[in-house]
């Protein structure tokens, strides 16, 4: 397998979502059941980990507030972000998952 083949395969995977054969079941479920939440979560992760810019129409301050709320309960930022994003940003469901 050549580098060119690998890169073409990677490009293909990134350009066409396969929610019925996912690499991450939580993300695929969110993609299929709540596309708006999926897009906001993807934007949030891009801002946090890829220094993406947020436009005024993509205000994500409510997501940051929820992370801060969980941090105030003693969880790390990483724990809060993962729990919230996997529970569609529902604070109660995220807290329940963190305690179980």
pLDDT recorded at residue 99:
95
Is residue 18 very low, low, confident or very high in pLDDT (cuts 50, 70, 90)? confident
Q: What is the pLDDT of residues 24-36, one digit of tens each?
A: 888 899 999 999 9
Is the pTM higher than 0.95? no
Question: Taking a C-beta distance cutoff of 8 angstroms, is the pair 71, 77 a contact?
Answer: yes
Mean pLDDT, range 16-43, rounded to an integer:
88
pLDDT recorded at residue 16:
82
CA distance 5 to 11: 10
Mean pLDDT, range 32-59, rounded to an integer:
91
Is residue 47 very low, low, confident or very high in pLDDT (cuts 50, 70, 90)? very high
Backbone dihedral region of 74: left (phi > 0), alpha (psi from -120 to 50 degrees) or beta? Answer: left
Q: What is the pLDDT of residues 59-94, one digit of tens each?
A: 899 999 999 999 999 999 999 999 999 999 999 999
């Amino acid at each position: 397998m050549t580098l060119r083949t690998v890169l073409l395969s990677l490009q293909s995977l990134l350009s066409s979502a396969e929610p019925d054969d996912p690499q991450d079941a939580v993300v695929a479920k969110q993609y299929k059941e709540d596309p708006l939440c999926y897009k906001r979560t993807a934007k949030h992760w891009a801002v946090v980990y890829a220094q993406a810019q947020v436009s005024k129409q993509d205000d994500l301050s409510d997501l940051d507030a929820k992370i801060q709320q969980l941090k105030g309960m003693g969880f790390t930022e990483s724990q809060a972000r993962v729990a919230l994003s996997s529970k569609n940003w529902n604070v109660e469901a995220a807290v329940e998952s963190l305690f179980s």
